């Protein structure tokens, strides 16, 4: 779940440029080589990017100068439980998409004109499909199709040196820094702390 709103001065970006930004962001945050298509299909459906044109934009130096790199304010909404872990990655994705258009237009930014803020929604205050939900419910919905495949035994063998995240299906390299959890005599690997925590809560395990 990534809800992204990008505001810019009216007329500063064309429909084509907005489309390029949206496509780049989507690719950067919903593409993972080691993730199953079943999970990423839902992740793409739960990612929304919209643009808002604002009139009369001023900075402390006065009105925005036509033809210069336009200031951009991007607001990204995620579950609060994901915010700290995902902020750096999603900020980088939005920055990369914006600067890609800057390069095409020959724009140079002086600084202080590109703001990307990540906001976390409190547990129970997320309206998934119009119903109150928490981060675990969001993750369960996103990974539902993968879990059906996993329970049916259709996933096939796990490559040597990899661990299968039982929540989202991502293949995780087993090594230093891998997020692990022991359960029923098995060592489980997770792509993110949010997946590990959700699994632990679901199975009544310690999250320490």
- Over residues 162-188, the mean pLDDT reads 90
Q: Residue 97 above 70 pLDDT? A: yes
Residue scoring higher pLDDT (207 or 83): 83
The C-alpha atoms of residue 39 and residue 56 are separated, in whole angstroms, by 42
The band of 207, judged by pLDDT with boundaries at 50, 70 and 90, is low
Mean pLDDT for 109-125 is 95
The secondary structure of residue 159, as a DSSP letter, is P
Residues in CB range of 161: below 8 A, 6 or more apart: 173, 174
Residue 29: count of CB within 10 angstroms of its CB:
22
Mean of the pLDDT values across residues 101-116? 95
pLDDT band at 161 (very low <50, low <70, confident <90, very high): confident
Q: Is the pTM of this model over 0.85?
A: yes
Task: Please give the average per-residue pLDDT across 129-150, as a whole number.
Answer: 93
Residues 12-49 have pLDDT tens digits of 999 999 999 999 999 999 887 788 899 999 999 999 99
Reduce the DSSP state of residue 189 to 3 states and report it: strand
pLDDT digits (tens, 9 = 90+) for 52-82: 999 999 999 999 988 889 999 999 999 999 9
Which among 90, 114, 115, 119 is positioned nearest to 26, based on CA atoms?
90
The predicted structure's pLDDT at residue 208 = 53
In this prediction, residue 156 has a pLDDT band, given cuts at 50, 70 and 90, of confident
Measure CA 139 to chain center. 12
Domains and CATH numbers, the chain: 2-128 (3.30.429.10), 157-208 (no CATH)
């Amino acid at each position: 779940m990534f809800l992204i709103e990008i505001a810019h001065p009216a007329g500063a970006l064309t429909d084509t440029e907005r489309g390029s930004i949206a496509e780049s962001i989507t690719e950067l945050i919903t593409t993972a080589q080691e993730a199953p298509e079943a999970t990423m299909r839902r992740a793409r459906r739960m990612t929304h990017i919209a643009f808002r044109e604002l009139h009369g934009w001023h900075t402390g130096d006065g009105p925005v100068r036509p033809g210069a790199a336009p200031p951009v304010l991007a607001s990204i909404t995620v579950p609060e439980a994901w915010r700290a872990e995902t902020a750096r990655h999603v900020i980088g994705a939005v920055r990369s998409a914006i600067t890609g258009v800057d390069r095409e237009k020959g724009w140079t930014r002086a600084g202080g004109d590109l703001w990307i803020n990540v906001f976390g929604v409190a547990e129970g205050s997320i309206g998934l499909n119009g119903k109150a939900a928490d981060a675990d419910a969001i993750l369960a919905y996103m990974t539902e199709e993968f879990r059906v495949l996993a329970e049916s035994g259709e996933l096939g063998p796990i490559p040597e040196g990899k661990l299968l995240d039982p929540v989202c299906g991502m293949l995780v390299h087993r090594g230093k820094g891998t997020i692990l959890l022991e359960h029923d005599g098995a060592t489980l690997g997770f792509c993110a702390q949010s997946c590990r925590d959700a699994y632990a809560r679901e199975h009544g395990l310690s999250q320490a």
